[in-house]
C-alpha cells in the first residue's frame, strides 16, 4: 500500500501539502540530503522511496542495524560509478541511522559534500543527539508526526478498496466502528494499522455470500495489545518520565498514574521508576512532607 504519487500520501501535510517545502522541492526535482525524524509508521521509508520515484533517481535501501563500514563503502562506490557513467543520481536511504557510530557516519561526509549520493537518513531518535554534527550540518532535518485517527481511517479504507495492492480481493466487510478500533489500537502507526487490518481479514471466515466479516473480537485478537510508542533509553523514555514528574508536581494523581502505567506497560524496569520516585520524594517534596520519602522507600 505504499503510495505511488504525492497525491496518495496520507499525513505529513506540514511537509507535503500544497506549497509546502518538501513538496515544492520534489516537484522541481531539487533533491537534497536530509534526516527524517519521526515515530515508527509515520512514513519515513515510504517518503524516501517516493522521492526516488518522483525524481527518477536510483534508490538504495540500507539498514544501520545490519551493515558496517565495508558495506557503506561498497554502496558508495556503486553510486559514484553510476554518477560517472550515466550521470544518475542515487538516493541512499539509511534506516535507523542513529544506530551507526560516529566513525561510520563520517564515511558519508565526503560523498554527501560532493553530491555523489543524496543521503536520506531515518531515525526515531533526536538527531541532535544521535547524528554526527558534521553530517547533520550537511542535511536538512524534517520532523514527521504520528498519523491522526482520520488519516489512519483514510489509509485503512483505501486498503479495503484496493484490489491490486490492498485487500479488496478478499472481499472484507469491516464496519466503521471496527475501523475506528484499529485506528485507536495502532496509536498513530500506519504500518501497525495496516498489519492489524490484514491479519484480521485473513483470520475472518467467509460467510455464505463469500464476504469476510471482520468483528471487533477478531481485531483485538489480531492486535493483541495497543501499540505504545516507547524506548528504554531514547527520547520517548525521557518524555514519559518527565511527564510523570510534572504530573506529580502538579498534584495530579490521575495523570501520574496514567504515565506510570504507560511506562510499566511498555516494559520499563520497575526499579528505575522506583528510584525516580524516591528521588522525587527527597528533592521535590522534601521537608514539605517528610513521610513522602518513607512511603517511596517502602514501595
Name the grid cell of 199: 491479519
CA–CA distance from 169 to each of 159, 207, 208 (Å)? Answer: 10, 15, 16
**What distance in Å separates the CA atoms of residue 270 and residue 105, rounded to the nearest whole number?**
35
Alpha-carbon distance of 51 to 89, in angstroms, equals 12
- Please name each of the domains of the chain with its CATH number: 6-143 (3.40.50.300), 149-223 (1.10.8.60), 235-298 (1.20.272.10)
- Confidence (pLDDT) at 231: 62
Cα 135–chain centre separation: 21
Tens of pLDDT, residue by residue over 41-93, are 999 999 999 989 888 888 998 887 777 778 888 888 888 888 888 888 899 99
B/e letters for 81-99, b = 16+ CB within 10 Å, e = fewer, are ebbeeeeebbbbbbbbbbb
C-alpha cell at 190: 500506519
Q: What is the largest CA-CA distance in the chain?
A: 75
Question: Structure pTM?
Answer: 0.75
Sheet with strand 58-63: strands edge to edge: 58-63, 90-95, 118-123, 34-37, 140-143
Q: By three-state DSSP, how is residue 53 classified?
A: helix
User: In the structure, how many helices (H) and strands (E) does the chain have?
Assistant: 16, 7
Give 271-284 pLDDT, tens digit per residue: 888 888 898 888 88
pLDDT at 161: 93
Q: What is the pLDDT of residue 217?
A: 92
Query: What burial class does residue 147 get, using C-beta atoms within 10 Å of its C-beta: 0-12 exposed, 13-18 middle, 19+ buried?
Result: buried
Spatial separation of the C-alpha atoms in residues 291 and 178, rounded to whole Å: 48
What is the reported pLDDT for 208?
85
pLDDT over 70, % of the chain: 96
Select, from the ranges 60-69, 76-85, 151-160, 289-298, the one with the highest average predicted confidence (pLDDT). Answer: 151-160
Set of cell numbers at residue 12: 505529513
- Burial readout 251-264 (b: 16 or more C-beta within 10 A, e: otherwise): eeeeebeebbebbe
Question: Rg of the Cα trace of the chain?
Answer: 23
What integer pLDDT is reported at residue 26 of this predicted model?
A: 86
Amino acid at each position: 500500500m505504499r503510495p505511488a504519487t504525492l497525491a496518495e500520501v496520507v499525513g505529513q501535510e506540514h511537509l507535503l501539502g500544497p506549497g509546502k517545502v518538501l513538496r515544492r522541492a520534489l516537484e522541481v526535482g531539487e533533491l537534497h540530503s536530509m534526516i527524517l525524524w519521526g515515530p515508527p509508521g509515520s512514513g519515513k521509508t515510504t517518503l524516501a522511496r517516493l522521492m526516488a520515484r518522483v525524481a527518477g533517481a536510483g534508490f538504495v535501501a540500507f539498514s544501520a542495524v545490519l551493515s558496517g563500514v565495508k558495506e557503506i563503502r561498497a554502496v558508495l562506490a556503486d553510486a559514484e560509478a553510476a554518477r560517472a557513467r550515466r550521470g544518475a543520481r542515487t538516493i541512499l536511504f539509511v534506516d535507523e541511522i542513529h544506530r551507526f557510530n560516529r566513525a561510520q557516519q563520517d564515511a558519508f561526509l565526503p560523498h554527501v559534500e560532493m553530491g555523489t549520493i543524496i543521503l536520506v537518513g531515518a531515525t526515531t531518535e533526536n538527531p541532535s543527539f544521535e547524528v554526527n554534527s558534521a553530517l547533520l550540518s550537511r542535511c536538512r532535518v524534517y520532523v514527521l508526526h504520528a498519523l491522526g485517527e482520520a488519516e489512519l481511517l483514510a489509509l485503512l479504507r483505501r486498503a479495503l478498496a484496493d484490489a491490486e495492492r490492498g485487500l479488496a480481493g478478499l472481499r472484507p466487510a469491516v464496519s466503521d466502528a471496527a475501523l475506528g478500533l484499529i485506528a485507536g489500537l495502532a496509536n498513530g502507526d500506519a504500518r501497525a494499522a495496516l498489519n492489524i487490518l490484514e491479519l484480521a481479514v485473513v483470520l475472518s471466515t467467509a460467510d455464505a455470500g463469500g464476504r469476510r466479516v471482520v468483528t471487533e473480537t477478531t481485531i483485538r485478537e489480531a492486535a493483541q495489545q495497543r501499540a505504545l510508542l516507547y524506548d528504554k533509553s531514547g527520547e520517548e523514555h525521557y518524555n514519559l518520565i518527565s511527564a510523570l514528574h510534572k504530573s506529580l508536581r502538579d498534584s495530579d494523581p490521575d495523570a501520574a498514574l496514567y504515565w506510570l502505567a504507560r511506562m510499566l506497560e511498555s516494559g520499563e524496569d520497575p526499579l528505575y521508576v522506583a528510584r525516580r520516585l524516591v528521588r522525587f520524594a527527597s528533592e521535590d517534596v522534601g521537608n514539605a512532607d517528610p513521610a513522602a520519602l518513607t512511603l517511596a522507600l517502602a514501595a
